[in-house]
Amino acid sequence: MEMAFKPFKRLRRGCMLTNKLKAFSLFPAVFSFVIDNKLRRILENMDRKMIPMGVKPGMKVLEIGCGSGFVTEFLSNAVGDAGFVISIDVQENMIKKAKKKRAHLKNVEFLIQDVSDLNTVKDEAIDLAFCYYSFHEVSDKEKAVSELLRTLKHGGLLSIKEPKLRVKEKYVRSHKEFIAGKGFRFVESIKKCDFLGCYLKFVKD
Ligand SMILES: C[S@@+](CC[C@H](N)C(=O)[O-])C[C@H]1O[C@@H](n2cnc3c(N)ncnc32)[C@H](O)[C@@H]1O
């Protein structure tokens, strides 16, 4: 009797994992003011997140889903003049806003690009792939993770933060399982969660 139910159990578990990997809808560019304002500056205290999330001076960082560039400013400052940030977003209007608001950032390039097809980025060119409140929105996570594996250097980091209000813990857990199953090694973050979101950090060995 028990044998007969095993395949169903496995199937059900498989479906659950797929469901938990669902792509959330894109955050609309017309509402970018909600995530790019003075209040967020106070609440998020981004400067203090840079070191725990793996950002160091001189690094070449790929920022995935930069929106209008709120986080980009802090990344730019943290990598300094010797570093460089490639900030991509799949929405043309987000990149337009980012270019307008953050034209003063000299060590940043803003590109309209899907992380699932990083055709402008060479193999093993990136020290750190940085996904701030964006990984859950990526529609093709399979291709995205394989592109990140290709473009990261050996020893390079993939650092993710997901927003608590929008992404339940079960989704964060399945992102962790999924990415770890694709060739990245999970490394314990200094903080697992703060009051706004949860962190995941991986290394490409
Ligand atoms: C919630 S916003 C966060 C923006 C920014 N990281 C911040 O914290 O202010 C998520 C962004 O990820 C972008 N995004 C979603 N899927 C993407 C993909 N496949 N490739 C690149 N960007 C993507 C969306 O267009 C959106 O601008």
* pLDDT at position 185 over 70: yes
Domain 2-203, CATH: 3.40.50.150
- Per-residue pLDDT tens over the stretch 101-140: 999 999 999 999 999 999 999 999 999 999 999 999 999 9
pLDDT tens across 31-73, in order? Answer: 999 999 999 999 999 999 999 999 999 999 999 999 999 999 9
- Closest by Cα among 69, 49, 73 to 160: 49
Give the Cα separation of 174 and 86 in Å (integer).
27
In the predicted model, is pLDDT for residue 13 greater than 70? no
- Identify the pLDDT of residue 20: 62
Atom 12 (ligand 1): residue with closest C-alpha?
65
Is the pLDDT at 7 greater than 80? The verdict is: no
Antiparallel, parallel or unpaired: β 197-203 and 152-163: antiparallel
Q: Which of 66, 201, 49 is nearest to 128 (CA)?
A: 201
One-letter identity of residue 198 = C
The band of 189, judged by pLDDT with boundaries at 50, 70 and 90, is confident
In tens, the pLDDT along 164-177 reads 999 998 999 999 99
Residues in the ligand 1 pocket, defined by CB under 6 Å: 26-27, 35, 64-67, 70-71, 88-91, 94, 114-116, 132-134, 137-138
Q: How many residues does the chain have?
A: 205
Given a cut of 90, is residue 23 above it in pLDDT? Answer: no
**What contacts 33, CB < 8 A, 6 or more positions away?**
none
Query: Atom 17 in ligand 1: which residue has the minimum CA distance?
Result: 138
